[in-house]
Amino acid sequence: MEYTIRSIGHVEKNDSGIYLVINPDIWEAAIHVDHFSHLIVLWWIHERDNDEDRSTLIGYPPRDKGDEASGAFACRTPLRPNPIGHTIVKLLSVDSDKKRMKIDHMDANQGSPIIDIKPYLPSSDRVDDALVAPWFEALEPRYTR
C-alpha cells in the first residue's frame, strides 16, 4: 500500500537559532503547544529519499563505524525503507506572527520537511529500565543491562 504524507512545514537553521516553521494554513494545529516543554518532531530525511538508500537495510552502529551489522530497525541509520526522522526537542518559544517554534537542537538539516509534531508526555513517552544494544551501552554508560 502507498500513503500520502504532506509536509506541515520545514526546519530553519540560522544565526538566531533553530526553528520549526509551520505552514500558515495549518498554524491552528499549534494552539497550546506552548503548554509543553518538549516536543516529538517527525521529519522527512529528504536527502536520503532515493531507491538506493531506501533499499539499504543494514547499518553498522554506532554511526556506521561499528563492527557488527544491524538491521535498520535496530539502529538510528538514516538509510531506511521510509526515511522518517524522529527528534525530541525542547521548545524555547512560539512566534505566532512568523508561524514558527524555536527549539534547542535538531538533527535534521536546513530545509528538512516536518511531517508531524506531538507533545512529549513523560507518562507515556518515557520507558523505565529499557534495554539497549551493547554498542549503545559503550556510548551511553548510564544504560546497563
CATH number, domain at 103? 2.40.30.70
Domain of 81, in residue numbers: 9-139
Tell me which of 125 and 141 has the higher pLDDT: 125
The tens digit of pLDDT for each residue in 19-45 reads 999 999 999 999 999 999 999 999 999
Quick check: is 19 in a domain? Answer: yes
| DSSP SS3 for 137 | helix
Quick check: is 54 in a domain? Answer: yes
Quick check: is 72 in a domain? Answer: yes
Tell me which of 129 and 62 has the higher pLDDT: 129
* Number of domains within the chain: 1
C-alpha cell at 12: 530553519
